[in-house]
A and B are shown apart, each in its own frame.
Chain A
Amino acid sequence: MNELDWMREKVGRQATDSEVRYLVSLMERVEGDAGSKLVSRGTWGDSLYLLVDGRLRAFVSGAGRRLELGTIQPGNWIGEMHFVDPGPSSASVEAETPFVALRLRNELLDTMLRDNPTATSQLLRSIVRQVADRLVRTGAGAVERVGEGDFRVGDPDEPGGWLEGLFRWMFGGWR
């Protein structure tokens, strides 16, 4: 699949060819080698990335411990929350393999809203769906266990135990 195909898959079939081309035209190509970092936890994030080739890994680390949150495959958004509301990154993302991603900066948002509101609306609807889904899964993941009188969160069969499961619920959504 090429960059246009990945974008079409993300924004949905209702988007026209020209809308998909418009969105891709605004994005800058970012490439990196295995081991390079795309996002560092705690640094200011203001960009949306669409991974189009390669494989990335999201993690949080601290106190001598590194918690893997999941593998990111082509066709996934990264940083969608920062694009609509910039802020510090909650997790780090680094390359497992050489990768290619498309980057869209928040500073273009006003221009997009003015120049092509239909395409911008398609993109924002995709982001709304993804964030809404994460919001529901995060809350559900926490509460289900309470209902059973058990405070473990996430998949109980998952390696790493309930704490890692909790963080995957909170930051995950890529797998």
Chain B
Amino acid sequence: MFLGIESFSDFPKAERELLEDVFVRERFPRGHVFVREGDLARSSRDAICVVLEGEVAVTRAGGAVRAVLVRGDLFGIVSMCTEHPRSATCTAATDVTVAHLDKPAITYLRSEHTALAARFELLLARQLVRDLRALTRVLCDAVESGDSGALMTAFRAV
């Protein structure tokens, strides 16, 4: 399931196989909404998802596309880790296959497979750092350009 996905390449083979056992692979039709902006976090539907096939569009109010997620990209981390309402809507832009991991499964990993859980926390941290760096880069570029149109576009997209 995760073979060839760079972010999972640090996991030893045995751990990757275990992850493939606890993640649930599921296919969703185009238009399926995984996460809706403004919904309260910490709901029973909270899950960390990995895109395996297809594309997932991340949008903000007004429909501006913030990002298009492809194979290997993760989403759902922020809702799982903070009390903030969901900050964007994630919709299947094509037919999509994702692997998802819900809270009980994460709790199981933390209690029974501590080494794997620690490596998984590192993977989540690195994804969030990449997201935050990308966001600040967009805003900095827009500010430095001095172009109010670019700034407006950047604000709508983040």
B residues near A, CB below 8 A? 60-61, 77-78, 81-82, 84, 87-88, 110, 114-115, 117-119, 121-122, 124-126, 128-133, 135-136, 139-140, 143, 148, 151-152, 154-156, 158
Interface residues of A in 131-175 (CB under 8 A from B): 131-136, 138-140, 142-143, 145-147, 151, 153, 163, 166, 170-171
Interface residues of A in 28-84 (CB under 8 A from B): 81, 84
Q: Out of B78, B143, B148, name the residue touching A135 (CB < 8 Å).
A: B78
A90 to B131, CA, bound (A): 15
A residues near B, CB below 8 A? 81, 84-85, 87, 90, 109, 113-114, 117-118, 120-121, 124-125, 127-129, 131-136, 138-140, 142-143, 145-147, 151, 153, 163, 166, 170-171
Question: For residue B77, which residue of chain A has the nearest CB?
Answer: A132
Contacts of B130 in A (CB 8 A): 85
Question: For residue B139, which residue of chain A has the nearest CB?
Answer: A170
Contacts of B129 in A (CB 8 A): 81, 84-85, 131
A131 to B123, CA, bound (A): 13
Asked if residues B132 and A142 are in contact (CB atoms below 8 Å), the reply is: no
Least CB distance, A114 to chain B, in whole angstroms:
8
Least CB distance, B123 to chain A, in whole angstroms:
9
Asked if residues B152 and A128 are in contact (CB atoms below 8 Å), the reply is: no
